[in-house]
Structure 1
Amino acid sequence: MHTETHHLEGATPGLRAELTVLHFGPRDRGPKAAIHAALHADEVPALLVAQCLRERLAQLEADGRLLGEVRLVPVANPLGLAQRLLGRHEGRFDLRDGLNFNRGYPDLAEAAHARLQTPLGADAGANVATLREALRAAAEAEILRAQTMTEHLKRRLLLNAIDCDVVLDLHCDSEAVVHLYALTPHQPLAEELGAWLGARAVLLALDSGDGPFDEACSRPWVQLQQRLPEHPLPAACFAATVELRGEADVNLAQAGADADALLNFLHRRGFIAGPLPVPPAALCEATPLSGSEPIQAPHAGIVVFEAEPGQALAAGEAVATLVCPSTGRRTVLRTQSAGLLYARIATRWAAAGQRLGKVAGRSLARTGKLLSA
């Protein structure tokens, strides 16, 4: 294992923060993967899975079984991990400006296209190598433009992953079953990853609308395919956001099983020597992210859930009852379409307009920003 420590530059004199990247396997040959944990900082299930991965990758490396490089970031957001406000942890948003740590990543497609030093040709593999160099150069330029610690963190994470074949962004939700987000063109890979993890929802979009980390790694390839249609060019980076259940789902046995599932996926991508493992049967089919239905509170009140994460719901079925403590009014919140409740909030008080749950379905066709804030 090789350890890299990156200092996160910021605008405040005297303050320092660091991002640690652990490199396993050969760095000069084979496929490359980047895995990082808890971009929203307090996603403890992701942090624990990263520790299990660390142990397993170290053993695979010692056994000489790693055929490619795995870049593991065990703590993807040290800035958010340090944020406490009035005794409560806030890891999702930067307290400096309120921006989500997993939104607003730069789109490098145009910059990479402008930086092409070698003309593309008829060899798809050579074209991929050329464009990876251009994407990495574009990501390095973004680091030079970073002004705050958060900007530097985001761009350093992007540089760590931009030239990889596989990028896995490990998160968790509030209360949830395992679910994934990935690009629509990567449906077969996303469904296989979901099968390994026992995912109950696999949500696909070509553009979710708000620049999350995973799409910053994978979407440039789709955009470059469109810009360069005369050259063979695969969508060479599979990136996924992996939601590892709910924030209280923390135990070593489950984390170890999740780490094994992720390694099995990498094994089938050529990262690990040995007989290929056979994926288990999938527990769900992928559905469009645009078909995911947010269940929102029309007014403030006490939340009484009628449905559990992982429950299949018919159209019109109750998800929750909202009780106003001032008036006694009860409002039953129902689905518009059939689907599976894959996540809900962990608290039981809702503000007006708050998203309380998410149902994976096919009937809706939402547009605009498809992810939660």
Structure 2
Amino acid sequence: MRVEHQPLLTRNPCTQRHLISFHYGQPGRAGKVYLQASLHADELPGMLALHHLREMLDGAEARGQILGEIVLVPIANPIGLEQTLMHDAMGRFDFNSGENFNRRYPDLAETIKDRLAHELTGDADENRQIIRRAMASALKQIRPTSEIDSMRQAQLLLAHDADFVLDLHCDAQAVVHLYGETPCWSQIEPLARYIGAQASLLASGTGAGSFDEACGQPWWRLAEAFAGRFPIPSGCVAATVELRGEADVDHALARVDAAALYAFLQHRGILAGTPPPMPALLQPATPFDGSLTLRAPCAGLVVFLHKPGAWIERDEPVVHVIDPITGATQVVCSSTRGVMYMRSAIRFAAAGVELCKVAGATALEGGVMVSA
């Protein structure tokens, strides 16, 4: 295993942050998998899962069982990890720019599409390499003007040539769930099975400009753009995995998650050995546009009637919002049926605040807005 340090653009002359990556195996053998944790820097369960996965990979390396290339980035966001406000970690938004750390990644498909029209061939495998070289060239030509943009560039330079990309997050209070691209579900489903996802939310691009979309989306978009002209393989599949809630930083859970990731790497042929039998899919995949967000109808004390993972029926009461002055209780019901896969940690809400989400099987009228 080797360790690489990628310096980020510094904001001050006396400080310097680095993106640190751990590299197992050798490039060009049995494929590449890239895993990063805590892009939202206050979401820490994934960081602990990668800690335990590293221990397992160290053993695999000693036994000569790493067949491909594995890159781990346990601290994907050294900028956000340093941000606190009144003793509380604040790792979702950049204090300097106000940007969500998991937004505004470059659109590589759009950047390289015109160039590829003159370079692609009739050979799908050759086109995979042509596209990856074009991506690398486009990324290296970026001249970041902020620390956060230099971090995005560094992450994508590490991940752009991976066959599978995993971005490990968590929610406020949640069960394991994931987000992926609809065209890639057949390759994502084994991951959902191994990690025990209780919701798998799929979309053909949410417009968020998120890290996983920047990695995986260019391939199927380019395949659509050049359909009938050039064969383009599925060069990268990417998924965002939400490892429960922010407070679930627990050795026992992290070991379970690390073992699941290890099994998935065996399934992908990156690690030697027979993977354990693939578990049943806990819930069928549902459209991202079917995810119903329940909001507070008024300000008040929030009392949840269900825990994350509960099955919610249509019109079933989910939350009470209580006005402690008047004593009035507003009952918030679900207009869809499905798993309540996350809920807020807020227990006194202003009107309009997000309370929880239910993974419905049918797309909602008007679609779904990506959260801030």
TM-score (norm 2): 0.96
Q: Equivalent residue for 1:314? A: 313
Task: Write out aligned runs for 1:44-123 (5 A).
Answer: 44-116=44-116, 119-123=119-123
Q: Distance in 2 between matches of 1:273 and 1:316?
A: 49
Comparing 114-123 with 172-181, which one deviates more in the overlay?
114-123
Check conservation: 1:139, 1:162, Cα contact below 8 A: no
The alpha-carbon deviation at position 16 of structure 1 amounts to 1.4
The alpha-carbon deviation at position 122 of structure 1 amounts to 2.4
Q: Equivalent residue for 2:171? A: 173
Residues 16-54 of structure 1: per-residue CA shift (max 9 Å, x gap):
111101000112433011100111111121110010111
The alpha-carbon deviation at position 62 of structure 1 amounts to 1.5
Runs of 4+ with >6 A deviation = none
Check conservation: 2:291, 2:368, Cα contact below 8 A: no
Query: In structure 1, what residue type is equivalent to 2:290?
Result: G
Which sections of structure 2, spanning at least 5 residues, go unmatched?
A: none
Check conservation: 1:210, 1:369, Cα contact below 8 A: no
Q: Distance in 1 between matches of 2:361 and 2:221?
A: 25
Residues 251-299 of structure 1: per-residue CA shift (max 9 Å, x gap):
2122111111112112111201223443111111100000000011122
Residues 86-129 of structure 1: per-residue CA shift (max 9 Å, x gap):
22110111111221111111111122224449732222111111
Q: Distance in 1 between matches of 2:253 and 2:302?
A: 29
User: How large is the RMSD of aligned CA atoms in angstroms?
Assistant: 1.6
SS in 1 for 2:155: helix
Q: Equivalent residue for 1:259? A: 258
Check conservation: 2:84, 2:90, Cα contact below 8 A: yes
Change (3 A) 1:118 1:272: farther
Query: In structure 1, what residue type is equivalent to 2:16?
Result: R
What's the % identity of the aligned pairs?
A: 45
The alpha-carbon deviation at position 318 of structure 1 amounts to 1.1
Q: Equivalent residue for 1:363? A: 362
Q: Distance in 2 between matches of 1:136 and 1:326?
A: 60
Check conservation: 2:199, 2:283, Cα contact below 8 A: yes
TM-score (norm 1): 0.95
Q: Equivalent residue for 1:26? A: 26
Change (3 A) 1:213 1:316: same
Q: Distance in 2 between matches of 1:225 and 1:321?
A: 48
Check conservation: 2:287, 2:362, Cα contact below 8 A: no
Change (3 A) 1:255 1:366: farther
Q: Equivalent residue for 2:324? A: 325
Residues 66-93 of structure 1: per-residue CA shift (max 9 Å, x gap):
1111110011111111001122110111
Check conservation: 1:199, 1:284, Cα contact below 8 A: yes
SS in 2 for 1:126: helix
Q: Equivalent residue for 1:350? A: 349
SS in 2 for 1:72: strand
Which sections of structure 1, spanning at least 5 residues, go unmatched?
A: none
Change (3 A) 1:167 1:366: farther
Q: Distance in 1 between matches of 2:262 and 2:125?
A: 24
Query: In structure 2, what residue type is equivalent to 1:155?
Result: Q
Q: Equivalent residue for 2:199? A: 201
Check conservation: 2:212, 2:240, Cα contact below 8 A: yes
Change (3 A) 1:369 1:290: closer
Change (3 A) 1:35 1:352: same
